[in-house]
Amino acid sequence: MDSKEILAAFDEIAGRRGWQPLHTPKNLAMALSVEVAEMCRHLQWRSDREIEQLMQSATAGQVAAELADIQMYLLKLAAVLGVDMDAALRDKMVENRRRCAASETGK
C-alpha cells in the first residue's frame, strides 16, 4: 500500500467510528507514542537472538501489526500537520549524508 491508500483506509475507519474530530496533532502524536510503546514491549529485555526467535514465532504477526499501527499514525500525523513525508525524508537523507561526509573529513 502506498501512503495515500493507507491514509484513505485509516480515514475510512475513523469516519465510521466517529473518530475524525479526535485526530488532532496532539492526540495523534500521543497515539503514535502508545503504538511505539506497544511494539517495544515485544522487544524489551530480550537479546538480539531472542528477538530473532520471536520473529520466527506466531508472535511475529503481533510485532508486524504494531509496526503497521505506527506507520498509519505517523502518516496521519504528517498529513494533519501538512508535512510532505517524501520531501521530508529526501531532505533528511541529504542532511544525514552531509553530516556523515563532514564527520569523515573531520569537520
Total tally of structural domains belonging to the chain: 1
Question: With 90 as the cut, is the pLDDT of residue 106 above it?
Answer: no
Residue 35 sits in which domain range? 3-104
List the grid coordinates of 50: 531472542
List the grid coordinates of 107: 569537520
- Residue that is written with C-alpha cell 467510528 in the block: 17
Q: What's the pLDDT score for residue 104?
A: 86
Q: From CA 24, how far away is CA 80, in angstroms rounded?
A: 7
Q: What is the CATH number of the domain that holds 25?
A: 1.10.287.1080
Q: From CA 34, how far away is CA 51, in angstroms rounded?
A: 20
Convert the pLDDT of each residue in 32-85 to its tens digit: 999 999 999 999 999 999 999 999 999 999 999 999 999 999 999 999 999 999
Q: From CA 78, how far away is CA 86, in angstroms rounded?
A: 10
Convert the pLDDT of each residue in 1-36 to its tens digit: 899 999 999 999 999 999 999 999 999 999 999 999
Angle at CA of residue 71, ends 97 and 83, nearest 5°: 60
